[in-house]
Chain A
Amino acid sequence: MKLERITIDNFRQYCGKQRVDFAKDEQKNVTVIHGVNGAGKTSFFLSINWCLYGKSLDNVKVIDNVGELMSKEAVNQAAIGDTIRTSVDLAFLHNGERYLVKRTLQGIKLIDGTVNVEDNDSFTMMRTKADGQAERINNPIGTMNSILPVNVREYFLFDGEKIDNFAKPEAAAQVKQAIYLVLKLEILERARRHLEAVATEYRKELKNKSGQQLRDLLEQEEKARAEIIKAKERIYDLHQEKESAERKIADIDKRLREMENTNILQQQRDRIERELKQRRTEMEDVVAIIRDLATSGYYVVAETAIKKAILLLEEKRARGEIPSDYRQQFIRDLVDKMVCVCGRPFCDGSEEHRTLLAKITHGLPDTLQDEVLNTCAVLQAFEQRTEKHRADVDSAMRRRAELVDIVSSLEAELDDVSRQLKGSPLEVISKLERNRENFHADIQGYILEIGSLHEREIKFVKDIAELKKEIDRARREEKREVLLSTKLDLAQRAADAIADMYQTFADDMRGKIQEKTKEIFKKLVWKESHFQDVKLGPDFNLEVIDRYGYSARPELSAGERQVLSLSFIMAMSRISDEEAPLVMDTPFGRLSSHHRNTIAEQLPILATQLVLFVTDEELRDEARQNLESRIGAEYRLEFSPRTSCTEIVEVR
């Protein structure tokens, strides 16, 4: 972040629009803004903070206890009912792109002279890319946090008189916080914590979903398929057994046909069986016809309604309402021409005229009449079909009853033949017939079992179809599980990776800051031979070691503490490579001339851009000379006792 320009409008004692261009040249990177106490240095400093972050951002207070932000003079000059606007525009460069941020607060002047200020200010951020295209940034706070987070701001934009805080013995927590924020240890720690939390959620979710469900379903499907195979094999075996029994019966029948004492009875049985087979086939056909008639005769149920509708239409026809004697259009044509159907003209209101008008009024429109006639024809066709359907069903049922009787009678005849053969005095004949009967019983048993197995097979096929649907569902679920499982693995590995590297990184950063702080401190402090070392321990205590090896911090003067703090801040800035300007309000207030001189010499080298708010006394003599060649812009704040306003005057 490199500041380019600020425009202040009606902010505190800055009445009207005033602009400052910051020095940003590499060699001349210092902007000096000087003024006496109360001239408006702190207000200017606040305007930068307010523009970037507002009064507070999230939970971080930026501006507190400073009174009204709106220029009192601007309020004074405004008429009652006028809108007064306070705004600060700040243009800066960051990562090769130009940003323009603007914060505006407005209010209306009331009759009592006070201002009804709107609750919230408005904050906009625009970005101009290298190709010159400007775009409005939708997430200005997030973007600002990526450029210079609000809680890191205080290490770059600070009140010089308060910076010795870091060097106080109780400041370990503050030092740690500064390192955590500026060197991104905080975001590493948060990233690890949040990744861990996300991984825990994934783990919980994964526990609730179980791959066991798919495994169970697949097992069920496998079992069902095994059952079908088993049934098919059994059916095959039963068919073999049945065919074998049938062959044996055929052999017995053949022997009975060949034997003199039985051939007549066997031939009789052959005939009965042929007829029985024929009748049974016929009965199957009749049953199929009855089934078809039962499923296709849906209109039979509407028979009563159809009859009633036909009756209604026939009554209308009997009354001559349908069809009409004449088409409606024909009557209308006659009325239009005022001519009777016989060709004789008639006049308005005559008997003929009235008759024709009545026919138009009471008659049906031609299209409706056509519809009614068509419906009538359709309903009559339905009535005829209903009667035919009923006759067909009756006939089929009668035939079925006849066939049942015929089959029963033929079966009785077969039983009679069998009984005669079993009762034969010849043992060989009766034995053959008993065997035949046993084989026949076996065949009946096989048929029964085959039927039952077929039903079982159908049930399993249905089960498999249902299982397939459930398996597909479970597979889809499992795909989600695979994704969840991969997410869990990645989240956990990412959290572990941060945990693995965190301490190494933190120690490395702490070591680097320690070295840099020492290097800068030795350059800035005038007793560099007395102070041998600067330590930043694992507990983040910033310690200065004297030449005797003792801790020298308790003995540091206020100025030396300020130098140590400044060294630490500069070290953080250098190590973090954070592209941020150093904006310091009264940095030299407590410093003696030596420290002032060395800091004035070193700061422009250590910072990429330096903005100093100083009193004339702070920056004079050698300090001024040391800084002179680096000053790229200089302004003087001139306070007018007449208007209580400050004017920014460009000095160079």
Chain B
Amino acid sequence: MHKERLSNLFETFDPAVKNIILGVLDIEQEHISMEKPRVKEHIDEIISAVAKKEIEKLDEQERP
């Protein structure tokens, strides 16, 4: 599948970055027929969710 090919393209990147990219690609795909899609809020939601998990992970690592 072409989607898998795209996913593999970002295999070497940080999983958090990869997850964001794949989430954003799905959003873009859903809005591909629009010339000026309003996707910023959706993208922000994806990034916020990943960022919160990243902060939690760092907090856990810093905990003694």
Interface residues of A (CB under 8 A from B): 57-60, 139, 141-143, 145-146, 149-152, 181, 183-184, 186-188, 190-191, 194-195, 197-198, 201, 482-483, 486-487, 490-491, 493-494, 497-498, 501, 505, 575-578
**Once the chains are docked, how many angstroms separate the CA of A149 from the CA of B28?**
11
Interface core residue of A58, A183, A490, A498 (most chain B CB under 10 Å)? A490
**Once the chains are docked, how many angstroms separate the CA of A150 from the CA of B31?**
10
Q: Which residues of B contact A190 (CB under 8 A)?
A: 28, 32, 37
Known A145-B33, A483-B55, A497-B17: A187·B1 in contact at CB below 8 Å: no
In-complex Cβ contact of A198 among B25, B29, B44, B54 (8 A): B44
CB distance from A499 to the nearest CB of B (A): 11
Q: Which residue of B lies closest to A505 (CB)?
A: B9
> Once the chains bind, are A142 and B55 in contact (CB under 8 Å)?
no
- Which residues of chain B from 1 to 52 have any CB-CB distance to chain A below 8 Å in the complex? 1-2, 5-6, 9-10, 13-14, 16-18, 20-21, 24-26, 28-35, 37, 39-40, 43-44, 47-48, 50-52
**Once the chains are docked, how many angstroms separate the CA of A181 from the CA of B28?**
12
Q: Which residues of B contact A194 (CB under 8 A)?
A: 24, 28, 39-40, 43
Known A187-B25, A577-B1: A59·B13 in contact at CB below 8 Å: no
Known A483-B48, A490-B51: A59·B17 in contact at CB below 8 Å: no
Q: Which residues of A contact B24 (CB under 8 A)?
A: 191, 194-195, 494
**Once the chains are docked, how many angstroms separate the CA of A302 from the CA of B11?**
82
In-complex Cβ contact of A494 among B2, B20, B39 (8 A): B20
> Once the chains bind, are A578 and B2 in contact (CB under 8 Å)?
yes
18 contacts between A and B (CB under 8 A): A58-B33, A58-B34, A145-B29, A146-B26, A151-B33, A191-B25, A194-B28, A194-B43, A198-B47, A486-B51, A487-B44, A487-B47, A487-B48, A490-B47, A490-B54, A494-B21, A497-B13, A501-B10
What total count of A-B pairs have CB within 8 Å? 108
Interface residues on B, range: 35 or more
**Once the chains are docked, how many angstroms separate the CA of A284 from the CA of B19?**
74
Q: Which residue of B lies closest to A479 (CB)?
A: B55
Q: Which residues of B contact A183 (CB under 8 A)?
A: 2
> Once the chains bind, are A483 and B52 in contact (CB under 8 Å)?
yes
**Once the chains are docked, how many angstroms separate the CA of A235 from the CA of B40?**
61
Report whether over half of chain B's contact residues are helix, strand or loop; otherwise say mixed. helix
CB distance from A573 to the nearest CB of B (A): 11
> Once the chains bind, are B43 and A198 in contact (CB under 8 Å)?
yes
Add 19 more A-B contacts to A151-B32, A186-B32, A198-B44 (CB < 8 A): A58-B33, A58-B35, A60-B33, A139-B30, A142-B31, A145-B30, A145-B32, A145-B33, A146-B29, A150-B33, A187-B25, A194-B40, A483-B55, A490-B20, A490-B51, A490-B54, A491-B43, A494-B21, A577-B1
Q: Which residue of B lies closest to A53 (CB)?
A: B33
Q: Which residue of B lies closest to A153 (CB)?
A: B33
Q: Which residues of B contact A197 (CB under 8 A)?
A: 40
Known A483-B52, A493-B14, A497-B10: A145·B31 in contact at CB below 8 Å: yes
**Once the chains are docked, how many angstroms separate the CA of A150 from the CA of B28?**
14
> Once the chains bind, are B32 and A149 in contact (CB under 8 Å)?
yes
Q: Which residue of A lies closest to B13 (CB)?
A: A497
Q: Which residues of B contact A57 (CB under 8 A)?
A: 33
**Once the chains are docked, how many angstroms separate the CA of A299 from the CA of B33?**
78
Q: Which residue of B lies closest to A190 (CB)?
A: B28
